Amino acid sequence: MQFGIFDHMDNDHLPLNAFYEERLQLMEMYDRHGFHAWHVAEHHATTLGMAPSPNVMLAAAAQRTKRLRFGPMVYALPLYHPMRLAEEIAMLDQMSNGRLEIGFGRGSSPVEISYFGVDPAGTESVYRQSLPRILEALETGVMKVPEHEAPYNEFTLKVMPLQKPYPPIWYGVHTSDSAERAAQRGWNTINLDMADEAGECNDVFKRVWRDVHDDAPLPFMGLGRFVVVAESDEKALAIARRAYPHWHQGFTHLFRSLGRMNRHPRPDNWDMLHAQGKGIAGSPRTVARFLGEQMARSKCNYCVAQIAFGDQSINELRDSINLFASDVMPAMRAMEDARMVA
């Protein structure tokens, strides 16, 4: 079992320069503690997303870490020109000595997409056209150009990725269809749904994976959960109940201010989130027991913790990360070993 970090980079309580420095310090901690990767979301015009240009943050992460892998979860592909994105991916992979992970999507928020003059109704078409061009360019060094876009048939990339044919790809899975697509293409996945629903997706994923890839090792199948760890259940719960509404305000800001419907609603309080099985706050023992059960039910092999969120102080976050790494991770691996033996 491996462990990763998901981060919305939400902030409504710190000056931005201090916030960025704190996040980079946390990345140094993830690096020291042996987390596999740090996955950052892309959002715009809301306190949910203080990394509206993920690649800028990833370039800083490359310089502040040594082993930690990192990448977008995901690039909002309709907001990028394929040529520029391919070149920036190659740069980041080289600057990090091959530690980049990449993920692509249509963009989860139609409101944010529309701010860029892009019709949300056309994002699926843009995604399907752009992604093959980007991956082909990263693999071959040549990007094909549609006739209506430029007077040239193709561009040659002078910057190529270090990892071949390109960095590992991640995909958000919510349905059996999306699980099947990811398995066919050999992509890693992250699921944010309830454990049993994620387990159903992973059953499909594994079946298709074996049909397509024979005995090749399974990729990462991630399960994302909000996590707060403290010395006691009471202390962790107090932090989570205070911090989570700050995150939720950023998550819902644009939809509330514009009177739009949120396609991916979340509970507005911590206790309801926990009741859905999507968050845990407690002592190391409580957190390990909860997450161990969630991983078993979901049939995932990659636990993705959203530890930094809301108005938590740097000391609260350091304590949570240290306890997660020192106590929760070993306990969960021991549980997994026991299940394997049984």
Mean pLDDT of 304-318: 98
- Average pLDDT score over the chain: 95
Q: What is the pTM of this model?
A: 0.96
Instruction: Annotate 221-245 with b (16+ C-beta within 10 A) or e (fewer).
Output: bbbbbbbbbbeeeebbbebbbebbe
- By C-alpha distance, which of 314, 299, 254, 287 is closest to 18? 314
Q: DSSP class of residue 217?
A: P
Check whether 262 has a pLDDT greater than 80: no
Q: What pLDDT digit, counting tens, does each position of 142-186 carry?
A: 998 887 776 778 889 999 999 999 999 999 999 999 999 999 999
pLDDT, one tens digit per residue, over 29-45 is: 999 999 999 999 999 99
Q: How far apart are CA 77 and CA 251, in angstroms?
A: 20
Residue 258: per-residue pLDDT = 86
Which uninterrupted H or E stretch holds 155? strand 154-156
For the stretch 92-138, pLDDT in tens is 999 999 999 999 999 878 889 999 999 999 999 999 999 999 999 99
pLDDT over 90 at 190, yes or no: yes
pLDDT in the model for residue 340:
81
Domains located in the chain, CATH noted:
1-36+222-342 (no CATH), 38-168 (3.20.20.30)
